[in-house]
Structure 1
Amino acid sequence: MTEHSEKNDKPTENADVTSDNDASTTEASEAAETAETAAPANDADALATAQAEISDLKDKLLRAVAETENIRRRSEREKTDAANYAITAFARDLLGVGDNLRRALDSIPEEADLGENAKNLVEGIEMTERELLNMLERHKIKKIDPKGEKFSHDLHQALFEVPDTGEEDGTIVQVMQVGYVIKDRLLRPAMVGVAKGGNKKEPMEHVDTKV
């Protein structure tokens, strides 16, 4: 009877071992599934982080390129300005010389009976003035003598207004001192007198084109 009992106990032990093995297999399978599920999520997070870093680096690169281009353009502009306007201060000083030459010539009456020496002196002053103006022209410095033109705040400085000139309002009727520009910049504004209360521009007469 004892032998029979021992024989009956062996299948029970085998069943317990099988059950334990099945449980271990199930746990391993679940762990594998969990790992497989977590792996794609981790990969997605890593990809999103990498893309964000790439976008940030790209933005910084574009900003650096733009800043470099701005610096290059600014340097070129400063270089061009230095070449074009380096003589501005010197030219402005020369304008006073030209003004004095013109004043000397304007002070001589047209009907004056000058002696030979005086005529030679006047001719010398005229030649000096012409040479000075030619020299200024060679350096792209041009005179502004705007009598009869419309007043412009960009080029002229109004010293006074002249009433009842018969000219349209805002017309320059007197030039007290000519102005100058160097290339596209104002070197000195022209000092002028401007018409006031004169003729106003008449509006165009309306023509009825209906038949």
Structure 2
Amino acid sequence: MMSDENATPEQEPETAVTPEAETPETDPVETLRLENAELRDKLLRMAAEMDNLRKRTEREIADTRAYAIAGFARDMLSATDSLSRALMVLPADARTNADGTTTSLIEGIEMTEREMQRLLAKHGVRPIEAEGQKFDPHKHQAMFEVPDPTRPAGTVVQVVQAGFAIGDRVLRPAMVGVAKGGTAASSEIPAEGEGGVDKEA
């Protein structure tokens, strides 16, 4: 009688895999339909991103064109101010009592100032409306208050120095005097140097 140690263990019969037990294959048409939908979604997203990039680039180019000369224009305003001051200090009878040379000099200064203003306007630099307007801390800088009961409080009654803007940006705020009293409700006017002006270059 053979011992159990020499006996070979009985192997379990392998389970036969029937076609029914296999994972059913997906329909190739449905697979292609899903892939097509996924690719279409990616394509639409990419087209939207490209369109956004194009619009953003166009905006940046437009901003660069509009504001590239902001620093230069601000310096030009200082030059036009000097010409204006030169004309303002002339006596009232300077033209009538002046000789030909002085008259030509005055006319030359006036023509130069007008030409500089024209060139600034050509490149989008425009004056800021101030006198008679309601005080706007983004465009005006209050220098002093004027007791004027005939004007609503907060109305600009005097322009000390003209302000200028380029596009939506303020190059230089208008320095103004503001009505102190009147029929309108008084609004807080920032002190000198606290105009809250946006001076983007």
Q: TM-score range by the shorter chain?
A: 0.5 to 0.7
| Alignment gaps of 5+ in structure 2 | 1-15, 186-201
Contact 1:177–1:190 (Cα < 8 Å) also in 2: yes
Q: TM-score, normalised by structure 1?
A: 0.64
The higher relative CO (CA closer than 8 Å, separation ≥ 6) is in 2
- For the aligned residue pairs, the C-alpha RMSD in angstroms reads 3.2
Contact 1:145–1:175 (Cα < 8 Å) also in 2: no
* Greater radius of gyration (CA): 1
Aligned residue in 2 for 1:76: 58
Contact 1:141–1:180 (Cα < 8 Å) also in 2: yes
Contact 1:174–1:193 (Cα < 8 Å) also in 2: yes
Q: TM-score, normalised by structure 2?
A: 0.67
C-alpha deviation, 1:111, in angstroms: 4.7
Please tell me whether residue 133 in structure 1 is matched to residue 121 in structure 2: no
Contact 1:163–1:195 (Cα < 8 Å) also in 2: yes
Range with bigger deviation, 84-93 or 115-124: 115-124
Please tell me whether residue 179 in structure 1 is matched to residue 163 in structure 2: yes
Structure that is richer in helix per residue: 1
Q: In percent, how many aligned pairs have the same letter? A: 48
Aligned residue in 1 for 2:71: 89
Range with bigger deviation, 75-84 or 110-119: 110-119
How many residues are aligned here? 167
Distance in 2, Cα, partners of 1:159 & 1:55: 66
| Alignment gaps of 5+ in structure 1 | 1-27, 202-211
C-alpha deviation, 1:106, in angstroms: 1.6
Aligned residue in 1 for 2:136: 152
